[in-house]
């Protein structure tokens, strides 16, 4: 049994929102999991191949300007923006939550995180719920994967 197998799985957007409300300093990472990532502890810039000083991840902390709006919507947006990554990065890539310390920024201004503590996997049903939540909003929105002209 690997360390990744020991991680609990969050099965609902509400459950993930509750975790984000309870703990600060959480990030979501889309990869093959902690077992693979923690052996290397750094990401590589896809364009140049340059190793970076930490794992690239996206923050889940709710910003103060969000005020008292729905934490579920906040988390849904954070997931929705990167939901294309399993398709782009290939089989076995899925989201997981970690606690860590920012050590820098990657070329897309994403946090690079060290001292990683894996917290949980995010079930695919949560990603589907995030997509549905974003689609319920009045404004049209797309993922961070946007085609150039």
Domain residue spans of the chain:
3-135
Kindly report the number of other CB atoms within 10 A of residue 4's CB atom. Answer: 16
Mean pLDDT by 10 residues, the chain (149 residues): 72 97 95 87 83 93 94 95 78 93 92 95 95 84 48
Gap between the Cα atoms of 141 and 76, Å rounded: 12
Number of Cβ within 10 Å of residue 48's Cβ equals 8
- Of all helices (H) and strands (E), which one includes residue 46? none
The per-residue pLDDT for 4 is 56
All residues at 6 or more sequence positions from 141 whose CB lies less than 8 Å from its CB, including other chains:
80, 134
């Amino acid at each position: 049994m690997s360390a990744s197998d020991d991680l609990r799985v969050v099965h609902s957007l509400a459950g993930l929102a509750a975790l984000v409300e309870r703990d600060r300093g959480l990030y979501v990472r889309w990869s093959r999991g902690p077992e693979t990532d923690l052996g290397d502890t750094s990401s590589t810039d896809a364009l140049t191949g340059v190793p970076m000083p930490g794992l690239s991840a996206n923050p889940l902390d709710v910003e103060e300007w969000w005020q008292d709006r729905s934490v579920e919507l906040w988390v849904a947006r954070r997931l929705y923006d990167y939901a294309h990554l399993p398709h782009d990065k290939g089989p076995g890539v899925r989201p997981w939550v970690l606690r860590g310390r920012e050590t820098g920024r990657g070329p897309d201004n994403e946090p690079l995180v060290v001292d990683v503590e894996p917290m949980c996997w995010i079930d695919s049903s949560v990603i589907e719920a995030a997509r549905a939540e974003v689609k319920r909003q009045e404004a049209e929105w797309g993922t961070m994967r946007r085609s150039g002209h």
